[in-house]
């Protein structure tokens, strides 16, 4: 797979010199520079990309983070911030000439305000730990990415993480109200506030999903929601993907916003059922999982409506989970999709394209044809409610040349999503993984506008450089520059 661009900055410091400077502002044990100590930081959840940072630091106070940033700013050293390292797009891939700034020690829940329904937490707090810590108040934090046991809230903000329930409850951007951030110069600023809005531009939204390119998040205040009184899960089986897709559209057009609405194809059904015995109908071409939540009456009203719609859309079987056990089992299958793929195949590659839902049959058919062409099986799990696809390409990295073919197939799948009016990433981020596809999704002036936004925060490109937004040179190299009426928009830049 292609390598990230090493950041262009040349600070002239070697490992020993930089470590020495950092040890003057941090406790000795918080500065790692031996190869064996750096190894755990060489990659995030996207393990195909690996690099050792020059030095890794693990500060545990705000003052230490500021001191690290001040030093790096002064010495022109690039910095990559890292949370739990579960990201799937290589956003936390270190730079060979840079500092890897781990926020793992910032793992405290600082304040829970049960009346205002907010929690103020440090960035290293795990997503699920927030909900667990307020469960006794009958509150919870809504975004629930599949990695919620391990992923941290700082990373969730950096990626604008979603989850299984975001059709109804939104993404990270909809569920946070205030951030504390250390700027590239080492200044501490507060973005957002404790009310429902703040003066000036919506920097809270801009920071969310900015992949560590604009600042280092050191504190997050999240919104907490009351736990729904009840939740019921319906499983529907279909003998045709198109019918399943149509059922999703019908449910929504009929005025129902399910808390979760997931689809799995036959390959995913069989793989997960085999793994966790979810009790899925393994002969179905596709299944839908539709969760309704709210008060007893609301859910009761809507459940009847959904059953009738599913029957009408040609479901071959409709089952409402009888009790909490069965509901948990139905969900367990869906949540086990990635590990189940891992059991079927030595390696798998997870995509994250998002499409308008009506394009689902075309996109699935297109993927099916590509899968045959490349001889690489694909299994599909799909956040059907919001159009977010997670095709899993199954492969074996030990077969020479296979990883390159997987990447080529992945790139074609993303092209398919863009052509369908969608996007290359719904919730996993661009990172280093999809940086070339950004050249396809955006025109040069748009990419330049992104760079201008970055420069408003980070003029010298020291924060996570080389990620998220490609340079125009890189796009020219990738050969995907948008050609408008036969003319390249920037005929004078170098291409090689």
Give the CA angle between residues 489, 491, 495 to the nearest 5°.
110
Burial class (CB in 10 A: 0-12, 13-18, 19+), 135: exposed
Angle between helices 62-75 and 15-23 (to 10 degrees): 140
To another protein, the closest distance from the beta carbon of 158 in angstroms equals 10
Nearer to another protein, 122 or 210 (CB): 210
* Residue 110, H or E segment: strand 109-113
From the list 342, 399, 432, the residue with the least C-alpha distance to 90 is 432
By beta-carbon proximity to another protein, the closer residue of 272 and 388 is 388
C-alpha 429, offset from chain centre: 5
Q: How far is the CB of 168 from another protein (least distance, A)?
A: 10
Please state the closest distance from residue 431 (CB atom) to another protein, in A.
Answer: 10
- Cα–Cα distance for residue pair 136/120, rounded to 1 Å: 17
Provide the 3-class DSSP secondary structure of residue 3: coil
Nearer to another protein, 229 or 408 (CB): 229
* In the complex, least distance from residue 31 CB atom to another protein, rounded to whole angstroms: 28
Q: Compare residues 298 and 317 and give the one whose CB is closer to another protein.
A: 298
Least distance from another protein to the Cβ atom of residue 297, Å? 3
DSSP 8-state secondary structure symbol assigned to residue 374: H
DSSP, residue by residue, 306-324: HHHHHHHTT-SEEEE--SH
Classify strands 99-102 and 55-57 as parallel, antiparallel or unpaired: parallel
Pick the closer one to another protein by CB: 22 or 299: 299
- To another protein, the closest distance from the beta carbon of 80 in angstroms equals 18
Kindly state the smallest distance separating residue 87's Cβ from another protein, in Å.
11
Report the residue number, 356 or 375, with the smaller CB distance to another protein.
356
Closest approach of another protein to the CB of residue 446, in Å: 5
Q: Which is nearer to another protein, 96 or 296 (CB)?
A: 296
Cβ distance to another protein smaller for residue 125 or 181 = 181
- Which of 417, 425, 438 has the alpha carbon at shortest distance from 367? 417
**What would the two tokens of residue 457 be?**
């925060």
CB of 397 to another protein, least distance (A): 26
The contacts of residue 280 (CB under 8 Å, 6+ apart) are 235, 264, 269, 272, 273, 287, 330, 333
The candidate with the shortest Cα–Cα distance to 448, out of 478, 484, 475, 426, is: 475
Least separation in angstroms between residue 396's CB and another protein is 29
**In a 3-state reduction of DSSP, which class is residue 212?**
coil
In angstroms, give the least distance from the CB of 50 to another protein: 23
Tokens of 487: 């003319």
Give the nearest distance from C-beta 157 to another protein in angstroms. Answer: 12
Around Cβ 369, how many Cβ atoms within 10 Å? 10
Q: For another protein, which is the closer residue by CB, 125 or 224?
A: 224
Question: Which residue lies nearer to another protein by CB, 21 or 84?
Answer: 84
Closer of 250 and 319 to another protein (Cβ): 250
Strand partners, 354: 388, 423
Print burial letters for 373-395: b (CB count within 10 Å at least 16), e (below 16): ebebbbbbbbbbbbbbbbbbbbb
Nearer to another protein, 58 or 430 (CB): 430
Helices 324-335 + 337-344 axis angle, to 10: 50
- Neighbouring residues of 470: CB distance < 8 A, sequence distance ≥ 6: 435, 436, 438, 439, 447, 478
């Amino acid at each position: 797979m292609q390598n990230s661009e090493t950041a262009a900055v040349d600070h002239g410091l070697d490992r020993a010199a930089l470590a020495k400077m950092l040890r003057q502002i941090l406790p000795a044990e918080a500065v790692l520079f031996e190869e064996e100590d750096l190894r755990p930081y060489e990659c995030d959840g996207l393990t195909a990309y690996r690099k050792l940072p020059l030095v890794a630091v693990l500060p545990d106070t705000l003052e230490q983070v500021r001191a690290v940033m001040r030093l790096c700013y002064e010495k022109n050293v690039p910095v990559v911030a890292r949370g739990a390292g579960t990201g799937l797009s290589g956003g936390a891939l270190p730079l060979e000439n840079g500092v890897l700034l781990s926020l793992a020690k910032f793992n405290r829940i600082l304040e829970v305000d049960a009346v205002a329904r907010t929690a103020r937490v440090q960035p290293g707090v795990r997503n699920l730990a927030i909900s667990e810590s307020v469960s006794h108040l009958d509150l919870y934090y809504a975004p629930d990415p599949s990695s919620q046991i391990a992923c941290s809230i700082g990373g969730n903000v950096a990626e604008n993480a979603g989850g299984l329930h975001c059709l109804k409850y939104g993404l990270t951007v909809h569920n946070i109200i205030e951030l504390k951030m250390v700027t590239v110069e080492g200044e501490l600023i507060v973005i957002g506030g404790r009310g429902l809005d703040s003066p000036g531009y919506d920097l809270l939204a801009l920071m969310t999903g900015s992949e560590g390119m604009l600042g280092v998040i050191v504190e997050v205040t999240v919104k907490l929601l009351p736990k729904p009184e009840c939740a019921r899960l319906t499983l529907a089986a279909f003998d045709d993907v198109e019918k399943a897709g149509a059922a999703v559209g019908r449910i929504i057009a009929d005025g129902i916003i399910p808390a979760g609405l997931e689809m799995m194809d036959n390959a995913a059904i069989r793989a997960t059922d085999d793994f966790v015995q979810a009790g899925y109908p393994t002969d179905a071409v596709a299944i839908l999982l539709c969760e309704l939540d709210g008060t007893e009456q609301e859910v009761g009203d809507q459940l009847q409506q959904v059953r009738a719609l599913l029957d009408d859309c040609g479901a071959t079987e409709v089952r409402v989970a009888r009790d909490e056990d069965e509901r948990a089992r139905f969900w367990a299958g869906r949540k086990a999709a990635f590990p189940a793929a891992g059991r079927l195949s030595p390696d798998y590659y997870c995509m994250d394209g998002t499409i308008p839902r009506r394009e689902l049959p075309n996109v699935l058919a297109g993927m099916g044809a590509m899968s045959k062409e490349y001889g690489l099986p694909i299994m599909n799990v799909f956040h059907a409610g919001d159009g977010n696809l997670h095709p899993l390409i199954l492969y074996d990295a030990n077969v020479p040349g296979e990883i390159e073919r997987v990447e080529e197939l992945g790139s074609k799948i993303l092209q398919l999503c863009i052509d369908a009016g969608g996007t290359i990433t719904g919730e996993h981020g661009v990172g280093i993984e999809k940086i070339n596809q950004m050249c396809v999704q955006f025109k040069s002036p748009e990419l330049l506008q992104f760079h201008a936004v970055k420069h408003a925060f980070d003029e010298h490109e020291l924060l996570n450089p080389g990620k998220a937004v490609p340079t125009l040179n890189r796009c020219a190299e990738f050969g995907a520059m948008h050609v408008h009426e036969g003319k390249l928009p920037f005929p004078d830049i170098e291409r090689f």
